């Protein structure tokens, strides 16, 4: 039997909104340690990894490992019926082919339960090795979202270049070119407004803006985003979920024709 109770139910709503643009169907994996998901986007270019640790739930019971296949748009339809202050409980009986979402209003006057059929989804779990990155940028998530959106009105790809001084986002398109530089800045009033760069060596990589924009759907989950870059690895765009876990997006850099020149 599975029973997960999350007092801050709006968090689950935000998680769904963060990934459903990228992923249509996916398996949610439940084990004693937590609730997780790993899925490729439909064009098999980007990877999403979600973890909500069991300690973060008010009540967490998972008698045996369970993989529940769901259509994320349908889950989202159901979760959108939860109030922002509702407590959400996810329930599944062993061997059942359904999952139940229960929403309780804070004063317990309104109780809703939504039952959904589970799906069989083939998926292989990719092992993601820990890696050393040439540069790690931590910046306000809303700033990163704004930059990706702004550059999309000019071009299709973004070149992210990191130096000790700051991180530069560049693009080019039919109407012109754009460069946005965010300087390293640790001395701000609020720590979540800092832009902090940990750099082993300068790095400059090109990515499709379309995917970056999809990743920024996770912005409501965290005030900061961490971008980890290395020349020979997919970028990791990570949004921490307070005291519970994270959503991580992985995307391989584009090989630009210019890069092939000696």
Chain residues binding a second copy by CB under 8 A are 71, 74, 77-78, 80-81, 98, 107-117, 143, 150-151, 153-154, 175-183, 185, 195
Q: How far is the CB of 199 from a second copy (least distance, A)?
A: 17
CB nearer to a second copy: give 51 or 68.
68
Q: How many CB atoms lie within 10 A of CB 20?
A: 20
* Residues counted in the chain: 262
Residue 170 CB, shortest distance to a second copy, in Å, is 10
Query: Helix, strand or coil for residue 62?
Result: strand
Q: By C-beta, is 74 or 204 nearer to a second copy?
A: 74
Sequence-distant (6+) residues with CB within 8 A of 135 are 162, 197, 198, 199, 200, 201, 202, 203, 228, 229, 230
Residue closer to a second copy by CB (options 93, 115) is: 115
- Name the minimum Å distance from CB 179 to a second copy: 5
Q: Which is nearer to a second copy, 32 or 111 (CB)?
A: 111
Q: What is the DSSP letter of 156?
A: S
Dist CA 171 CA 153 (whole Å) = 10
- Nearest distance in Å: CB 207, a second copy: 18
CA distance 168 to 243: 31
Euclidean distance between CA atoms 181 and 216, whole angstroms: 19
Shortest approach of a second copy to residue 31 CB, angstroms?
Answer: 25
Whichever of 55 and 150 has its CB closer to a second copy, that residue is 150
């Amino acid at each position: 039997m599975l029973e997960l109770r999350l007092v801050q139910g709006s968090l689950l709503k935000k998680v769904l909104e963060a990934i459903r643009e990228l992923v249509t169907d996916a398996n949610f994996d439940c084990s004693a340690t937590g609730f997780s998901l790993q899925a490729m986007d439909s064009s098999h270019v980007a990877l999403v990894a979600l973890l909500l640790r069991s300690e973060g739930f008010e009540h967490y019971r998972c008698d045996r490992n369970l993989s529940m296949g769901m259509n994320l748009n349908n889950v989202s339809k159901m979760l959108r019926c939860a109030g922002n202050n509702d407590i959400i409980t996810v329930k599944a009986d062993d061997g059942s082919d359904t999952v139940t979402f229960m929403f309780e209003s804070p004063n317990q006057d309104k109780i809703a339960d939504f039952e959904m059929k589970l799906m069989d989804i083939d998926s292989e779990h990719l092992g993601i090795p820990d890696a050393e990155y040439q540069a790690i940028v931590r910046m306000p998530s809303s700033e990163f979202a704004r930059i990706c959106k702004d550059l999309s009105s000019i071009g299709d790809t973004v070149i992210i270049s990191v130096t000790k001084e700051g991180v530069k986002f560049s693009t080019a398109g039919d109407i012109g070119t754009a460069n946005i530089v965010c300087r390293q800045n640790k001395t701000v009033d609020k720590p979540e407004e800092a832009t902090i760069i940990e750099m082993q060596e300068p790095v400059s990589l090109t990515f499709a803006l379309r995917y970056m924009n999809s990743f920024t759907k996770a912005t409501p989950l965290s005030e900061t985003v961490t971008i980890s870059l290395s020349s020979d690895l997919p970028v990791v765009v990570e949004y921490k979920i307070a005291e519970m876990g994270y959503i991580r997006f992985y995307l391989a850099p584009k090989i630009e024709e210019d890069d092939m020149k000696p």
